[in-house]
């Protein structure tokens, strides 16, 4: 009958352990929710958004609410899942919404050759600020609105560039 | 105030259940209803049935976006930003798809989706290849109604 007593002892500890684990689990779920649906921080790097974003990498805060309510507007810097590689996220500026007509230069170094395009329904036109070093809608065309995953709010690192992005 | 306390307890439990439920359905698997008959006879085989099929959607595949031809996937619409569709992948990047007049190559990072019920399906034959980034999960099983419990794919 001794093992019955041991079992009762373990039951108390097991219950406590379960309580602690469930607190941690609930906290992790809250973190997941905040990161996915409210606000998150991302490290962005690359030359395609110069001079707005630095070459060597910035940390920006992005919010994930606007795109769910359709509140992405012209000029917003957005985090988009790349249409050529779904495991990568790219940061670009929205320069055209559905129905807009845009004309762009197919090759900015060659000078001439302007192309005109209408953004189809449900799509947006994204471009990097640095036209000479950016792969964007000029290369892969307008992207579906649902690929947008967040809108950049402000830059938090490096500290001397802290603040909103323009 | 017993009632107030009770309401507070219930709200707390509901809130906790909600966050856990959303996290699980975002990262592990979720259950969604299939509307329409564009995937007949795989889903909703009878036109006038009052019961829609409910399917289990696996989310582990979204870690690396590894899909294969023949997978049934849930994806966000490329044209209507609030809608989601369920269709089958029939073309992976680099493959050639023959449509009515010509042959189309599926670009990198995209896939060609079609409904099993070709006559009544709005799919890539209309809106073209879709970026893999639009996919929100892969359908693995039918879970409701119970007599149609089955595994999709294999």
Q: What is the ipTM of this complex?
A: 0.85
User: Locate tokens 């996220």: which residue?
Assistant: A89
pLDDT reading at A149 higher than 90: yes
A26, B110: Cβ pair inside 8 Å? no
B16, B75, B81, best to mutate vs chain A, most A CBs in 10 Å: B81
- Residue B154 is predicted with a pLDDT of 43
Find the distance separating the first CA and the last CA of chain A, reported in whole Å. 75
- A89 CA: distance to closest CA in chain B (Å): 10
Calculate what percentage of chain B has a pLDDT beyond 70: 96
- Residue A52 is predicted with a pLDDT of 87
**For B131, nearest residue in chain A (alpha carbons):** A83
- B24 CA: distance to closest CA in chain A (Å): 8
Cα B86 from Cα B139, distance rounded (Å) = 8
Element (H, E) at B113: strand B110-114
- Residue A164 is predicted with a pLDDT of 83
Query: In this predicted model, what pLDDT tens digit does every residue of A112-126 receive, in sequence order?
Result: 678 889 999 999 999
pLDDT tier at B1, thresholds 50, 70, 90: low
When pLDDT is averaged across residues A66-83 and rounded to a whole number, the result is: 92
- Residue A142 is predicted with a pLDDT of 94
Element (H, E) at B54: strand B54-58
pLDDT reading at A23 higher than 60: yes
pLDDT reading at B150 higher than 90: no
pLDDT tier at A31, thresholds 50, 70, 90: very high
Query: In this predicted model, what pLDDT tens digit does every residue of B95-115 receive, in sequence order?
Result: 999 877 889 999 999 999 999
Cα A24 from Cα B113, distance rounded (Å) = 40
């Amino acid at each position: 009958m001794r093992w019955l007593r041991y079992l009762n002892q373990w039951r108390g500890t097991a219950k406590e352990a379960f309580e602690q684990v469930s607190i941690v689990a609930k906290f992790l779920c809250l973190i997941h929710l905040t990161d996915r649906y409210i606000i998150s921080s991302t490290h962005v790097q690359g030359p395609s958004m110069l001079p707005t974003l630095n070459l060597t990498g910035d940390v920006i805060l992005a919010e994930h609410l606007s795109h769910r309510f359709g509140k992405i507007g012209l000029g917003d810097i957005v985090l988009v899942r790349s249409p050529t590689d779904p495991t990568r996220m790219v940061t670009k500026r929205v320069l055209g919404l559905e129905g807009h007509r845009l004309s762009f230069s197919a090759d900015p170094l060659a000078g001439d050759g302007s192309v005109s395009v209408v953004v189809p329904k449900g799509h947006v036109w994204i471009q990097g600020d640095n036209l000479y070093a950016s792969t964007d809608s000029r290369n892969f065309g307008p992207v579906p609105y649902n690929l947008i995953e967040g809108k950049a709010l402000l830059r938090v690192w490096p500290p001397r560039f802290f603040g909103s992005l323009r | 105030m017993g009632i107030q306390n009770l309401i507070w307890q219930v709200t707390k439990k509901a809130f906790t259940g909600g966050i856990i439920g959303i996290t699980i359905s975002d990262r592990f698997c979720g259950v969604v209803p299939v509307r329409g008959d564009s995937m007949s006879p795989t889903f909703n085989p009878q036109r006038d049935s009052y019961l829609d099929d409910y399917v289990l959607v696996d989310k582990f595949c979204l870690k690396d976006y590894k899909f294969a031809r023949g997978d049934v996937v849930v994806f966000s619409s490329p044209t209507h930003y609030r809608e989601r569709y369920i269709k089958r992948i029939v073309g992976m990047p680099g493959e050639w798809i023959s449509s009515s007049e010509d042959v189309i190559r599926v670009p990198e990072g995209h896939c060609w989706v079609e409904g099993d019920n070709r006559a009544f399906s709005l799919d890539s034959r209309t809106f073209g290849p879709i970026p893999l980034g639009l996919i929100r999960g892969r359908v693995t099983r039918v879970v409701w109604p119970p007599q149609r419990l089955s595994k999709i794919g294999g």
